[in-house]
Structure 1
Amino acid sequence: MIAYIIYNWGLSGLENVQVAFRIQKTFKNVSSEPCTFALLREAYKRQGYFPRGGEWLLRDGVAYFQPTICTFRHPRVSNSFMTKCLSKANLSYALTMGDSTAGRYANALRATLTLTTKRLIIEQPKVNGFLPDKDYFTRDMPDEVAEYVTTKFRFCSGCASKLYRTEFYRENRSYLLDIEHLAQTMILDDSLQMTFPTYKRAVGVINKVWAITTQELILRYYLKAKQPDIFLIFLPFVHAKGNIRLSRLPMEIKYFKGLVEEYLPNTTKLFYITSYGEFEKRRKSSKWHKHLFDGMLARDKIDKMNRILYDVLADDLLNRDGRYFGFFDLIDMSEDRGNWSKDSIHMEAVWYQSIMSMFWETYCNSVLLDMF
């Protein structure tokens, strides 16, 4: 076991992260094929689940994961690689959705681009305790529609939506790329709704609901004016593990899936990314140490939730002509990364940047090899 100091550019500044790496001398079982989503789909067919297996390594002071089924050639994707990829894909809007951990992935999705930019605009909604910011979600809605949006308390003070706008150049041509994160605390939550004004009947006062969940309001109304080219979906199993029984989970995933299919065009590529495991020794409060969720530790329940996600999506993930894509099994990938855990739930920036760099390389390999 060899200990290294990685100086990693975190989103809040320079972070020093001490990480222990097992350095593997040979890679007898590692495929030399570049990682693509087509290759991952073939792995799903063989294994019946998101791919597992690989090794965390260090190259040029950068941590990266080397899976066994394919090869990542770039610990961090290069500027030239990304500009060539994004211009060919004509990518202009990337969307992420999820809780505070997904927000960190969104930060990393932007940070790992390594693009030479001339302009970076960040729109951040006002922080208002545990309430979503109504102004952020209604800023492009007509006033006669926006007035019916309501907000409710939600159990996530760190769940904030944000928009990054980046301008980059290739062959003297300018490109704009928006990366937006939209916060949600549950798979289906009601912290944002849209209702008709109340009216009276003999039985009392009735509200007729236009959008009963945050997800419906976002997909049906907020994204109506501008729809994403790619949509990275991080279902908030961190919150859901304590609020949803496993028997109910398939129904909620199917409902969310139905909303996506109804309100987003077929041209939007959908990437479902699993949750990583939690680490009991890193919990800040003894109250939650080895707390059981449906008789299981958090890591075990999240693993089962990931597997239910795969079972619900399996037919779509295996459809080579479809728009559904998965990724690696992050429970497996995070198993020996406990020293990167800040509080059992959130990880150091190096984790999110590593995973999003893997995503960009897999996406761009797929684009440049015409495998979408």
Structure 2
Amino acid sequence: MRIVFAAYEYTKEFNHPVKWLERISAFTGILSALAKTNEVHSIQQINFEGSHNLEGVDYHFKQYNEVALRFFPHKLNLYLKNLKPDVIIIQGLHCPLRVIQLRLILGSKVKIILQHRAEKPFRGYKKVFQQLADRCVNAYLFGSIALGMEWVKFENLKTAGKIYEVAGLSSRFYPIEKKIAKQHIDVSRNPIYLWVGRLNENKNPLTVVDAFLRFTELNPNAQLYMGYQTTELLSEIEKRLINQPNGKNVVLVGNIEHNDLLYWFNAADFLISGSYYEGGGTVISEAMSAGCVPIVTAIPSFKMLTNNGDCGFLYQAGNTDELLKILISTQHLNLPEEREKCLAFFKAHLSFDAIGNKIQEIALAL
């Protein structure tokens, strides 16, 4: 089966193909898994033109006009057709007019799959375009069935019959000895809780900090390390820490290089998230791939990633009391057993091979 991946996007900040593919390695690993039993191509649009083969996948680096990509991507659609694909997987549900044009060029034989990338259903007149594009699409890949059902509820998609539950990204991390991981990042406290994400309203770090500060009153040895890429709520967090006697139990690490996350996820016992909405959850997958136990909000994508809370813990977003109860319960947890449960579930359902196999099964059934 010949599978082609594409997106109607151009990232001009990158001009080196290898560095770009390293940046999106949580995605390219899925393509590599598919390439073990299929012919796989991927169209990438950065400030470079050429080709590159990585792990059996043919990457085509093209440069098309940005305005044309947004409205009338005829050249890209024609290029996709000329690759003679059996299946085309387009990233995102936010480009319905371009998908309609793609179907008109391809005809009816080629299967078109759209992969959800955290976008929400259009409202108003734009909603009509998604309804029209729905007639041109054979399947949708969502991070959870519940996320897809929101699109059916708002009538952007006609039925649930085309919706499939597939993780959009995975992880190249793996377990290493905890002692080595701690030495690498120079931490020694036990237990260690970790936060990784933007400090914005949606990620909701304030609930996490508030619950953790209350937890340290009961367990003064507990330590929360916070890695973050943006600082929207940093001043609010700092105020909370200054005014609390246990404020030193929360360490504001700042930006953590992605490669160093391997050591952080292996050093930490638990990863905490406070998100109100996520289309996926790459950080959760990365943590679980290293055996770090997730404590996350009960949103659809996180329910899928944790097997509905069977791996780790779920709590209602914004509920400080509920999170505190979970933190208290972690003191009595059989951590090695929970760690192994997370690793096993990741391998079976969230790894590159697991995701690739699922996409292949879906494509063959269309």
TM-score (norm 2): 0.31
Higher share of residues assigned helix: 2
TM-score (norm 1): 0.31
RCO greater where, 1 or 2, for CA within 8 Å and sep 6 or more?
A: 1
Structure with more strand by fraction: 1
